[in-house]
Protein backbone atom coordinates (compact mmCIF):
# COMPACT_ATOMS: atom_id res chain seq x y z
CA UNK A 1 0.00 0.00 0.00
CA UNK A 2 1.36 3.41 -1.00
CA UNK A 3 0.50 5.00 2.35
CA UNK A 4 2.13 2.35 4.54
CA UNK A 5 4.63 4.09 6.87
CA UNK A 6 7.39 1.64 5.87
CA UNK A 7 7.35 3.23 2.40
CA UNK A 8 8.01 6.74 3.72
CA UNK A 9 11.73 6.54 2.97
CA UNK A 10 11.16 5.19 -0.53
CA UNK A 11 8.45 7.72 -1.43
CA UNK A 12 10.19 10.65 0.27
CA UNK A 13 7.26 11.09 2.63
CA UNK A 14 7.03 11.95 6.29
CA UNK A 15 6.65 8.84 8.39
CA UNK A 16 4.24 10.40 10.91
CA UNK A 17 1.99 11.80 8.20
CA UNK A 18 1.94 8.55 6.24
CA UNK A 19 1.27 6.57 9.41
CA UNK A 20 -1.82 8.71 10.06
CA UNK A 21 -2.97 8.33 6.46
CA UNK A 22 -2.46 4.56 6.67
CA UNK A 23 -4.61 4.41 9.80
CA UNK A 24 -7.35 6.49 8.16
CA UNK A 25 -7.46 4.28 5.08
CA UNK A 26 -7.41 1.12 7.19
CA UNK A 27 -10.34 2.38 9.27
CA UNK A 28 -12.26 3.35 6.13
CA UNK A 29 -11.66 -0.10 4.64
CA UNK A 30 -12.75 -1.73 7.89
CA UNK A 31 -15.93 0.37 7.93
CA UNK A 32 -16.69 -0.64 4.33
CA UNK A 33 -16.22 -4.32 5.19
CA UNK A 34 -18.48 -4.01 8.23
CA UNK A 35 -21.13 -2.23 6.15
CA UNK A 36 -21.11 -4.87 3.41
CA UNK A 37 -21.40 -7.61 6.04
CA UNK A 38 -24.38 -5.99 7.79
CA UNK A 39 -25.79 -3.05 5.80
CA UNK A 40 -28.99 -2.94 7.83
CA UNK A 41 -26.99 -1.63 10.79
CA UNK A 42 -26.04 1.61 9.03
CA UNK A 43 -27.69 4.72 7.66
CA UNK A 44 -26.81 8.11 6.16
CA UNK A 45 -27.11 11.43 7.91
CA UNK A 46 -28.78 14.37 6.21
CA UNK A 47 -25.35 15.52 5.11
CA UNK A 48 -24.48 12.16 3.55
CA UNK A 49 -22.22 10.78 6.31
CA UNK A 50 -22.35 7.05 7.04
CA UNK A 51 -23.03 6.17 10.66
CA UNK A 52 -23.88 3.05 12.63
CA UNK A 53 -27.40 2.86 13.95
CA UNK A 54 -27.96 2.40 17.66
CA UNK A 55 -29.09 -1.09 18.42
CA UNK A 56 -32.67 -1.27 19.70
CA UNK A 57 -33.24 -3.11 22.96
CA UNK A 58 -33.38 -6.85 22.49
CA UNK A 59 -36.83 -8.36 22.62
CA UNK A 60 -37.46 -11.94 23.62
CA UNK A 61 -37.97 -14.05 20.52
CA UNK A 62 -41.46 -15.39 20.02
CA UNK A 63 -41.63 -19.12 20.49
CA UNK A 64 -42.21 -21.18 17.43
CA UNK A 65 -41.33 -18.33 15.07
CA UNK A 66 -37.95 -18.22 13.40
CA UNK A 67 -36.94 -16.06 10.50
CA UNK A 68 -33.57 -15.57 8.82
CA UNK A 69 -34.75 -12.64 6.69
CA UNK A 70 -33.17 -9.37 7.82
CA UNK A 71 -35.13 -6.27 6.92
CA UNK A 72 -32.92 -3.31 6.06
CA UNK A 73 -34.07 -0.06 7.68
CA UNK A 74 -35.16 2.87 5.58
CA UNK A 75 -34.16 6.47 6.16
CA UNK A 76 -36.65 8.32 8.38
CA UNK A 77 -34.92 11.65 8.89
CA UNK A 78 -35.51 15.00 7.25
CA UNK A 79 -35.19 15.46 3.52
CA UNK A 80 -31.94 17.38 2.81
CA UNK A 81 -32.45 21.01 1.79
CA UNK A 82 -30.54 20.72 -1.48
CA UNK A 83 -30.83 19.29 -4.95
CA UNK A 84 -30.55 15.51 -5.07
CA UNK A 85 -29.73 12.91 -7.67
CA UNK A 86 -32.45 10.34 -8.29
CA UNK A 87 -30.84 7.58 -6.25
CA UNK A 88 -30.23 9.96 -3.37
CA UNK A 89 -33.83 11.12 -3.48
CA UNK A 90 -35.14 7.56 -3.33
CA UNK A 91 -33.02 6.91 -0.25
CA UNK A 92 -33.88 10.09 1.63
CA UNK A 93 -37.57 9.72 0.73
CA UNK A 94 -37.53 6.27 2.34
CA UNK A 95 -38.17 4.27 -0.82
CA UNK A 96 -34.90 2.26 -0.88
CA UNK A 97 -32.36 1.23 1.73
CA UNK A 98 -28.77 2.42 1.84
CA UNK A 99 -27.54 -1.00 0.75
CA UNK A 100 -29.87 -0.97 -2.27
CA UNK A 101 -28.68 2.51 -3.23
CA UNK A 102 -25.03 1.46 -3.10
CA UNK A 103 -25.74 -1.63 -5.20
CA UNK A 104 -27.52 0.55 -7.77
CA UNK A 105 -24.58 2.97 -7.95
CA UNK A 106 -22.08 0.12 -8.35
CA UNK A 107 -24.26 -1.43 -11.08
CA UNK A 108 -24.43 1.88 -12.93
CA UNK A 109 -20.67 2.43 -12.73
CA UNK A 110 -19.96 -1.07 -14.05
CA UNK A 111 -22.20 -0.50 -17.08
CA UNK A 112 -20.42 2.58 -18.39
CA UNK A 113 -17.23 2.46 -20.49
CA UNK A 114 -14.04 3.85 -19.01
CA UNK A 115 -12.59 7.18 -20.09
CA UNK A 116 -9.55 5.35 -21.45
CA UNK A 117 -11.66 3.00 -23.57
CA UNK A 118 -13.57 5.89 -25.12
CA UNK A 119 -10.35 7.82 -25.77
CA UNK A 120 -8.84 4.80 -27.56
CA UNK A 121 -11.97 4.30 -29.66
CA UNK A 122 -11.78 7.96 -30.71
CA UNK A 123 -8.10 7.69 -31.57
CA UNK A 124 -7.02 10.12 -28.86
CA UNK A 125 -5.00 7.54 -26.92
CA UNK A 126 -3.19 4.32 -27.77
CA UNK A 127 -2.48 1.21 -25.74
CA UNK A 128 0.94 2.48 -24.71
CA UNK A 129 -0.61 5.71 -23.44
CA UNK A 130 -3.03 3.75 -21.27
CA UNK A 131 -0.18 1.79 -19.69
CA UNK A 132 1.86 4.94 -19.02
CA UNK A 133 -1.09 6.77 -17.49
CA UNK A 134 -1.94 3.87 -15.20
CA UNK A 135 1.70 3.59 -14.16
CA UNK A 136 2.00 7.30 -13.36
CA UNK A 137 -1.38 7.76 -11.71
CA UNK A 138 -1.14 9.07 -8.16
CA UNK A 139 -3.07 7.65 -5.24
CA UNK A 140 -6.70 8.74 -5.50
CA UNK A 141 -6.15 10.42 -8.87
CA UNK A 142 -8.68 9.71 -11.60
CA UNK A 143 -7.53 8.36 -14.94
CA UNK A 144 -8.63 11.45 -16.86
CA UNK A 145 -6.98 13.82 -14.41
CA UNK A 146 -3.71 11.93 -14.70
CA UNK A 147 -3.92 11.90 -18.50
CA UNK A 148 -4.39 15.68 -18.47
CA UNK A 149 -1.53 16.20 -16.02
CA UNK A 150 0.78 14.17 -18.24
CA UNK A 151 -0.29 16.10 -21.31
CA UNK A 152 -1.85 13.07 -23.01
CA UNK A 153 -5.28 14.72 -23.10
CA UNK A 154 -6.28 18.37 -23.36
CA UNK A 155 -8.87 19.93 -21.07
CA UNK A 156 -11.29 20.02 -24.01
CA UNK A 157 -10.73 16.34 -24.80
CA UNK A 158 -11.22 15.32 -21.18
CA UNK A 159 -14.47 17.28 -20.97
CA UNK A 160 -15.72 15.60 -24.17
CA UNK A 161 -14.81 12.15 -22.84
CA UNK A 162 -16.57 12.70 -19.51
CA UNK A 163 -19.63 14.02 -21.32
CA UNK A 164 -19.71 10.95 -23.57
CA UNK A 165 -19.25 8.62 -20.61
CA UNK A 166 -22.20 10.21 -18.85
CA UNK A 167 -24.35 9.95 -21.97
CA UNK A 168 -23.80 6.23 -22.53
CA UNK A 169 -24.13 5.03 -18.95
CA UNK A 170 -27.60 3.65 -18.15
CA UNK A 171 -29.96 5.63 -15.96
CA UNK A 172 -29.92 4.41 -12.39
CA UNK A 173 -33.70 3.96 -12.49
CA UNK A 174 -33.20 0.99 -14.80
CA UNK A 175 -31.62 -0.93 -11.93
CA UNK A 176 -34.68 -0.50 -9.73
CA UNK A 177 -36.90 -1.70 -12.59
CA UNK A 178 -34.77 -4.74 -13.40
CA UNK A 179 -34.57 -5.75 -9.74
CA UNK A 180 -38.35 -5.29 -9.31
CA UNK A 181 -37.76 -2.74 -6.58
CA UNK A 182 -39.97 -0.18 -8.32
CA UNK A 183 -42.64 -0.60 -10.97
CA UNK A 184 -42.62 1.64 -14.02
CA UNK A 185 -45.54 3.60 -12.55
CA UNK A 186 -43.76 4.04 -9.21
CA UNK A 187 -40.58 5.04 -11.00
CA UNK A 188 -42.38 7.76 -12.94
CA UNK A 189 -44.04 9.07 -9.77
CA UNK A 190 -40.74 9.18 -7.90
CA UNK A 191 -39.08 11.08 -10.77
CA UNK A 192 -41.86 13.67 -10.65
CA UNK A 193 -41.49 13.94 -6.87
CA UNK A 194 -37.72 14.40 -7.19
CA UNK A 195 -38.15 17.16 -9.76
CA UNK A 196 -40.62 18.93 -7.48
CA UNK A 197 -38.11 18.72 -4.63
CA UNK A 198 -35.17 19.93 -6.72
CA UNK A 199 -37.22 22.77 -8.15
CA UNK A 200 -37.14 24.40 -4.72
CA UNK A 201 -33.37 24.76 -4.92
CA UNK A 202 -32.77 26.07 -8.42
CA UNK A 203 -29.92 28.54 -8.61
CA UNK A 204 -30.02 31.26 -11.22
As a whole number of angstroms, the distance between CA 182 and CA 186 comes to 6
List the one residue out of 66, 43, 38 whose CA is nearest residue 53: 43
Whole-model pTM over 0.85: no
Question: What is the reported pLDDT for 112?
Answer: 86
Which tens digit of pLDDT belongs to each residue from 134-179? 999 998 899 999 999 999 999 999 999 999 998 888 899 999 999 9
As a whole number of angstroms, the distance between CA 3 and CA 16 comes to 11
81 φ, ψ (degrees, to nearest 5) = -90, 65
List the one residue out of 139, 57, 131, 71 whose CA is nearest residue 99: 71
Which tens digit of pLDDT belongs to each residue from 45-75? 555 555 555 555 555 555 555 555 567 888 9
CB of 150 closer than 8 Å to CB of 132: yes
Amino acid sequence: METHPDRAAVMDGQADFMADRFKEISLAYQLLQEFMAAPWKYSLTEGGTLYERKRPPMRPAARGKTSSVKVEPLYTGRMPSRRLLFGQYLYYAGHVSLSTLIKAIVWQRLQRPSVGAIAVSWGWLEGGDIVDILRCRRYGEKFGECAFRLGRLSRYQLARLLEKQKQVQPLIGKYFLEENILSSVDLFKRIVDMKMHNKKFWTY
